[in-house]
Structure 1
Amino acid sequence: MKSKAPRNRTLCLSDAEQKSLLKKIISLNQKNKLEEVINRTICQDIFDASLYLPENFVDLMIVDPPYNLQKNFNGKTFNRLDDDDYNAWVDAWISRIKSVLKEDASLYFCADWATSVAMYPVLKKHFKVRNRITWEREKGRGAKSNWKNSCEDIWFCTVSDDYYFNVEAVKLKRKVIAPYRTEEGKPKDWEDKGSERFRLTHPSNIWTDITIPFWSMPENTDHPTQKPEKLIAKLILASSKENDVVFDPFLGSGTTSVVAKKLNRQFLGIEVEPEYCCLAEKRLALADLDSSIQGYSDGVFWERNTLSEQAKKKNHPPQTPEDLALLEKQMTLL
């Protein structure tokens, strides 16, 4: 395991941990019943694994595929394709996994701006496209001859017109800058909590309250395209109920499965890279010690840079080096 700076909380794997966690990971070579795969991590190529999945069991699918960019995933390189070839690749795996979806299932597809353009025609062919969310990544490389690329898209789709959406579960808590009052002196469309003045607002398709994982956050890993737990939590809370099945066919380091577990959903993830599968399993174990989600507390999403009450919650203590040491010891004993 690499040595880290004292405040660097990026999750890493020791050799002993990886050896132990590999035992928890499965691959498929025959048709499986739901109870044989639920709440598991499948280490396999999506085209192979899709042949053996049960049918009509997924309530919500969250997909974060390789974008149409050249990117190195732990030694495996995804090479940029022309739009038609990328379009065909997306169509191929969607066609394979459509059968896992329930008739009232919802789907979210992540993309950067260029991938989004290529992906849309395929999504429109297979599903009902409801909306496109754009979220701000506060990081991004500057460019001398172009605009800095600091946002990504998420396409919201459904299988049919019968689908679940809970807007109350994803309202955003915003600070009130101009606290208007009624003639009687009562707050108008906001709440007065002494030093705290805020209102709950309906979520839009522009998200500026997301912080991407970085080295001082306990959810951070070395995966190059890891999505924030807060972002995935919004999708899960809006489009699934407790005990629903959340499926991610490009699991990466496990964010979708981890957030689903923290929010009392069932989950299934497929990831081709063994080390990322092990990171997912480690994070799932850590979720038993700490089920908090940064930026989400007491059923409310907090605006970026506002005080989060979750830091005060005694039942969700922050992940400590002692927690990690205990977990690592437990892994070596498995």
Structure 2
Amino acid sequence: MKINTILQGDCVEELKKIPDNSIDLIFADPPYNMQLKNALYRPNNTKVDGVYDEWDKFSSFAEYDEFCAAWLKECKRVLKDTGSIWVIGSYHNIFRIGNIMLNTGFWILNDVTWYKTNPMPNFLGKRFTNATETLLWCSKGENYKKYTFNHKLMKKYNGDKQMTSVWQIGLCIGEERLKGDDGKKAHSTQKPEELLKRVILSTTKQNDIVLDPFFGTGTTGAVAKKLKRNYLGIEKESEYISFAKKRIDSIKTFFPEADWQEEEKQKQDRISFELLLKEQIIKAGEILYTNKSYNAEACVLADGKLEYNNQVGSIHKIGTIIQQSPSCNGWKFWYITRN
């Protein structure tokens, strides 16, 4: 499979050409199906630069749902068992997509709110100003637990504070916003690099492959390159591909965070209560005691379990019974006397 390239064509058909279990991360920014039927105008009668592109138009919700089910099915197939997927959307589509993702077997890990610090005003004054979009971050399924999440790395990135699921990031403006020779936006929904930076930095390792099936003008590819990750894009429109290639080819420097790596968790040796009996540190028949708050005692059985008031269980289970709590750390709960 060729990487660091853009495949031109329909996303579903191009996804079918990608091998099974070959992608580490997917970021998808699909059409929002905004259903804009008429142009919007500001109070000064100038036209709002909204999303009027043909690729955002579907004949019905059923057609849109069928389209999303098709590309999500292929995304699940190409995603590694250790991988994850992000899908971004607005109130127009994210709830439909979330339902389809669950029906496809994905498991939602987080819903991240992108809070736009500079949202477009509501010119008609008939609704609240829409200042957010939602990102769904999902593993391949409920039992796929080995996905990448760089918790400590993101804490470092966030000024030594745990990063929350609300991201305050401005819309893509200024020099970052790609424009054509006519001065108009190259793409109506170009995402800010900071958004993709957080997505890729948090859920990939260096040299991982990041797939974007709706590549547009290449924000995902540009950020992946700056973070020393590989990318694979799928895009239908030739004009967008031209912008994306020029943008990515011009990158000569990396983000400082490109070489950051998640600290490996230190594995600690674990000792079982049964081992204490085997080594005769504690013997069957001995009595364990609680503190004065509970004033209870239990007998150690030969199999390492405890007996308390005709109930048998582990040091943790009997502790929960005495405490009347959902959990208990038996190692800290029980005491034993020694001469």
> One-letter code of the match for 1:49?
E
**CA-to-partner distance for each residue in 1:277-323, whole Å, 9 max, x for gaps?**
111111111112x4349xx7996xxxxxxxxxxxxxxxxxxxxxxxx
Give 2:132's aligned residue: 151
Are residue 130 (structure 1) and residue 112 (structure 2) matched? no
Q: Which of the numbers 200, 211, 214 marks the counterpart of 2:173?
A: 214
Extract structure 1 runs of 4+ deviating beyond 6 A: 71-74, 296-299
Give 1:303's aligned residue: none
Distance change (3 Å), C-alpha of 1:136 and 1:172: farther
Shift of 1:173: 6.4
> Is the CA contact (8 Å cut-off) linking 2:31 and 2:55 kept in structure 1?
no
Question: What does residue range 117-266 of structure 1 map to in structure 2 within 5 Å?
Answer: 117-126=95-104, 127-137=106-116, 138-142=118-122, 143-159=124-140, 160-171=144-155, 199-208=159-168, 210-217=169-176, 222-266=186-230
Are residue 272 (structure 1) and residue 236 (structure 2) matched? yes
TM-score (norm 1): 0.65
The sequence identity of aligned pairs, in percent, is: 30
Q: In structure 2, how many angstroms separate the alpha carbons of the residues matched to 1:129 and 1:261?
A: 27
Give 2:27's aligned residue: 62
> One-letter code of the match for 2:19?
P
User: 3-state DSSP class of the match of 2:176?
Assistant: coil
Q: In structure 2, how many angstroms separate the alpha carbons of the residues matched to 1:73 and 1:234?
A: 25
> One-letter code of the match for 2:25?
L
Distance change (3 Å), C-alpha of 1:172 and 1:217: farther
> Is the CA contact (8 Å cut-off) linking 2:210 and 2:231 kept in structure 1?
yes
Larger radius of gyration: 2
> Is the CA contact (8 Å cut-off) linking 1:262 and 1:292 kept in structure 2?
yes
Give 1:305's aligned residue: none
**CA-to-partner distance for each residue in 1:238-267, whole Å, 9 max, x for gaps?**
110001110000001001111111101111
> One-letter code of the match for 2:89?
A
Q: In structure 1, how many angstroms separate the alpha carbons of the residues matched to 2:32 and 2:155?
A: 29
Give 1:325's aligned residue: none
Q: Count matched residues.
A: 237
Q: CA RMSD in A?
A: 2.6
Q: Where in structure 1 are there 5+ consecutive unaligned residues? A: 1-33, 175-198, 300-334
> One-letter code of the match for 2:114?
W
Larger RCO, structure (CA 8 Å, separation 6 or more): 1
Q: In structure 2, how many angstroms separate the alpha carbons of the residues matched to 1:241 and 1:91?
A: 28
> Is the CA contact (8 Å cut-off) linking 2:149 and 2:204 kept in structure 1?
yes
> Is the CA contact (8 Å cut-off) linking 1:172 and 1:203 kept in structure 2?
no
Pick which of 239-248 and 216-225 moved more: 216-225
Are residue 106 (structure 1) and residue 69 (structure 2) matched? no
